[in-house]
Structure 1
Amino acid sequence: MTKAWLLRYLFLVSLASAAVAISWWSPVRKFVEPMAYGGPVVKGQVRQEIDCRVAMTGKTLVGLVFGQSNAANFGETRYRPRKAVYSFYAGRCYAADDPLPGAAAFGGSVWSRLGDKLVESGMFDSVIWISIGEGGSSISRWTVGGDLYDRLMGAVENARGHKLKITHAFWHQGESDRVAKTSEMDYRSMFLRMVEGLRSAGVDAPIYVAVATYCYGKESPDIQRAQRTLVNVERKIYSGPNTDELSSKDVRYDDCHFSDSGLRRHADAWFEVLKRSSG
């Protein structure tokens, strides 16, 4: 290598290092796309891609679903919707076959089942899920400053960038905060900060909060109260189902996550909530 080439090489290396440094210290928020646990391909099975424009009608529910394992893909059995139920991930729409891409784990989901119920009832023509649940996640990870807050904001920005307006948001979380002994006041405060972030990001959809603390035979009255008292019509925060009531052995295959029958009953509970709110 000649001296001239060596000097040129060192110059280019210094430029690259400077670029990395600028990127590292940049104050601009870098939104994180949720991890594709399911992804477009699951164990050799290619997902059917759908044109999002075709999936959308004047009566389409675009649901942001987030929280921990029971909002993700930890169900005992997978489900393949029969109706116009889709999953939006990384700028594309797919048939909402379990496991839903963007959320943790490789099992079944309540949302695929709920989607069929909503379309079959005539309440909606089609359903598009944006699923970003993370197993074992506490609310501190979802609120402003938490690592999953970036995932949440990234999902919102990605939807907006592809002209998908979120019409509903569904929150199912609380089991980890029972273990962490999060106080009622702290849970409420962190949730409301998260909601403020969603509103600032342009999400004006109603947010439904499930009562969800049960796992391995235990519940948390403090977290249950927090979830119930978060309901505020002016803030468009509404009651979701009380899934702590679904705690028998036949609906929780491991005394925490939902069995096949549990997923059906979980979906039924969400359906009744939406049916009442639309009436």
Structure 2
Amino acid sequence: MPKRTLERRAGRRAPAPGSRRPGLLLLPLFVIAAAHPGIREAGAQDSRAAARVAEASGYTLLYALDIPVTADFHATGPSYRVDASASMDAPFDRVAYYLELEAPDGRLDWVYVSMRAYTAKPTELGLPDPTGGRVVQQPVADLHVASNVAGIQPGDFATGGSLEIWPFNYSPANAGRVPGASDAVYDWGDQPASDGAYGSLQVHQHALGQVLLAYNRWGMGGGVASDIGIGNAVDPEEPGGAHVDWTFRANAGDWAARRLEILVRPGPTPFELKLSAPLAHAVHQRDADGRARVPIQAAGLAEDAGLEARALPLAGQRGRATDWRPIPVGDRPGDVAGQIELEAGWYAVELRLAGDDWVRSVHRVEPVGVGEVFVIAGQSNSANHGQPPLAPADPRVSTFDGRRWRPAFDPQPIATGNGGSPWPALGDLLAERLDLPIGFVSVGWGGTRVDQWLPEAALYPRIADALAGLAPNGARALLWHQGESDAAVGTSAVDYAERLRRVIGASRSEPAAARLPWGVALVSYLPGADPARRAAVIAGQRDVIAAGPAVFEGPDTDALSSADYRWDGIHFNEAGLRAHAAGWATAIAAAFPGLETLPTEPATSEPRPSASATPEASATRAPPATATAARGWLALPWLQARPALGTAPDWLDATAAAPAPTIDRPETPVRRREYQSND
């Protein structure tokens, strides 16, 4: 069968795998339950699930749908046989989905899966209305699975479940980095669009590579049957057979009857605890003792409840488990704000509510790391102007966008450009060497001079806000790669050194950065630039390195000036990006020779032989595979569309002032970290 996407089926052009669209993914509030009396049941009680599964007898039927062969629910709305969502005022703490398929010979295939409630609103559990734009693509916990279909593994599973529920078209790109998902096959890691009418309601046990139930193509009509199935679709002779989530199967007419039920378990009152920390994929800088203080922050705590936290190392990863520890209440009612101290490693952080005579497990955030963190600043070759975009092979390599962490695939979320950077490759090198999580905050801006980063200039707040976002643990170092634009305009060695020292000094007044080491690369190369001007910039950089304090020499990327390393003569190609990364790995190893024993200062601020980024340094490392997040992925709103890389090299307008980034920087030390990336 020719390779197709849902957009092509609907007469639309599909996005390329890995493309990012704004506003696609919603992050629901974490729903947490506390004891509450007076539960009132709602909805009709003729549940077929209750006849099959003992657990379901304690649930209330919220929706029941006799699934038609073809459906145009975008136009008509779902024709539920039971819809108790509007009248139900009973609280619930669990949700169940039940799908039953009756064959023409009377055989019944069925599957039942229940999970911890992922929303407190019953109206958000059914087929989503396209006008609301609701997209649910997230993990779910505490699964109970029962089925009579071969291949479905029954039982109870603490983690590994996931949902894909939306009213729109979608493509197979694994934009959410769901473990085990494909970029080419429709499965449990697809990418929703923001338009179209195909529709998806799918429940998965992705940790087992298992589709539990799927009901697709319920929004667009057109006389084509819906897709429906229990378990993985495996028949390659059938249309869409390669797609395990039944996409394109158009097989609803193969069944004599099709029934979907959505149930809820009345239980302790759910309330919305707004958890702002810890964040999945976050990496916190370890201190001299190999530890970090991981923040725990939430709002909405009930008066009779307390919040406790513990950490467990993920399977096969470094770390030391902690006991349950209470998190102090904050200044405002319902707020909690505290820390949990963790040794270096890669963790799941579990949170639970506790009252006088009850304890309830509530949420698990993973992965959360304690390791090495680096801030990146400079111009285009520090940012995303290389080609192609890279992705780390190690899931412990993360990047921060000022609000959320995610796997560090390019483009890095704050820096300009929509291409590649050296940081995914550097993260792999450091993670392999140290066996630790690695975090980056890349804030570079293409085409900028050093004076545009001065404390009073437009771009310095990018450094300040990055450091503020990493408090209280800070960063190992700031890596500076800049100089091409100063070579273009003829900045003198004295001026370059004086300006860069001012930037360094200002950075050390920021939170958790009083002794922040800086790595300064040797970089001045532009095609056809005056050799004397280039030499002046290098001299200024060397002067800063020599004078210190706590400044170390980065890679000499001028050594990578040939066409073997530059895709357009200026910005690095893949060989250049990997060589650049290898140069920084060498420089960091030389500056922190005992990094495994946790020094807090560079080894020396004296000049040393250049840590050149040689081709040999990267030739032995194969290109990394596409990043796949560790367990506990969250599909977060950082997957945004980015403007196309401009055709004009960023240095052509090197004398122009950098466009002022939109950064809200109040006078108080607490800053809202808002970044705007322009190319």
How far apart, CA to CA, are the structure 2 residues paired with 1:63 and 1:147?
22
Name which of 186, 195, 202 aligns with 2:495: 186
- Indicate yes or no: 2:583 matched with 1:272: no
- Indicate yes or no: 2:1 matched with 1:43: no
Tell me, yes or no, if the aligned pair for 1:91 and 1:159 is still in contact at 8 Å. Answer: no
Q: What one-letter code is carried by the residue in structure 2 that aligns with 1:118?
A: L
Question: Over aligned residue pairs, what C-alpha RMSD do you find?
Answer: 1.9
Name which of 93, 96, 101 aligns with 2:405: 93
**Measured at CA, do residues 76 and 55 of structure 1 come closer, stay the same or move farther in structure 2, by a change above 3 Å?**
same
Q: What one-letter code is carried by the residue in structure 2 that aligns with 1:96?
A: A
TM-superposed CA distance for 1:249, in Å, is: 0.7
How far apart, CA to CA, are the structure 1 residues paired with 2:498 and 2:423?
27
Cross-structure match for 2:338? none
Cross-structure match for 2:464? 153
Tell me, yes or no, if the aligned pair for 2:521 and 2:554 is still in contact at 8 Å. Answer: yes
Give per-residue Cα distances to partners, 1:32-61, cap 9 Å, x unaligned.
xxxxxxxxx95237455834254322xx11
Tell me, yes or no, if the aligned pair for 1:61 and 1:168 is still in contact at 8 Å. Answer: no
Give per-residue Cα distances to partners, 1:74-94, cap 9 Å, x unaligned.
111111111110001122111
Whichever structure has more helix as a proportion of its residues is: 1
Tell me, yes or no, if the aligned pair for 1:230 and 1:237 is still in contact at 8 Å. Answer: yes
Cross-structure match for 2:382? 71
Within-5 A mapping of 1:164-179 = 164-179=473-488
- Indicate yes or no: 2:447 matched with 1:136: yes
Partner-residue secondary structure (3-state), 2:410: coil
Report the identity percentage.
Answer: 32
Name which of 415, 438, 443 aligns with 1:103: 415
Partner-residue secondary structure (3-state), 1:147: coil
Cross-structure match for 1:246? 560
Structure ID, larger Rg: 2
TM-superposed CA distance for 1:157, in Å, is: 1.5
Cross-structure match for 1:21? none
Give per-residue Cα distances to partners, 1:183-225, cap 9 Å, x unaligned.
1111111111111111111412210000111022435000001
**Measured at CA, do residues 274 and 51 of structure 1 come closer, stay the same or move farther in structure 2, by a change above 3 Å?**
closer
Q: What one-letter code is carried by the residue in structure 1 that aligns with 2:380?
A: S
Tell me, yes or no, if the aligned pair for 1:61 and 1:124 is still in contact at 8 Å. Answer: no
How far apart, CA to CA, are the structure 1 residues paired with 2:435 and 2:450?
30
Q: What one-letter code is carried by the residue in structure 1 that aligns with 2:368?
A: A
Q: What one-letter code is carried by the residue in structure 1 that aligns with 2:555?
A: P
How far apart, CA to CA, are the structure 2 residues paired with 1:234 and 1:191?
11
How far apart, CA to CA, are the structure 2 residues paired with 1:101 and 1:276?
29
Partner-residue secondary structure (3-state), 1:101: coil
Partner-residue secondary structure (3-state), 2:459: helix
TM-superposed CA distance for 1:277, in Å, is: 2.2
Cross-structure match for 2:535? 221
Q: What one-letter code is carried by the residue in structure 2 that aligns with 1:86?
A: S
Cross-structure match for 1:30? none
How far apart, CA to CA, are the structure 1 residues paired with 2:572 and 2:520?
18
User: What is the aligned length?
Assistant: 234
Tell me, yes or no, if the aligned pair for 2:382 and 2:444 is still in contact at 8 Å. Answer: yes
Partner-residue secondary structure (3-state), 1:208: strand
Whichever structure has more strand as a proportion of its residues is: 2
How far apart, CA to CA, are the structure 1 residues paired with 2:429 and 2:559?
21
Tell me, yes or no, if the aligned pair for 2:281 and 2:407 is still in contact at 8 Å. Answer: no
How far apart, CA to CA, are the structure 1 residues paired with 2:410 and 2:462?
20
Cross-structure match for 1:56? 369
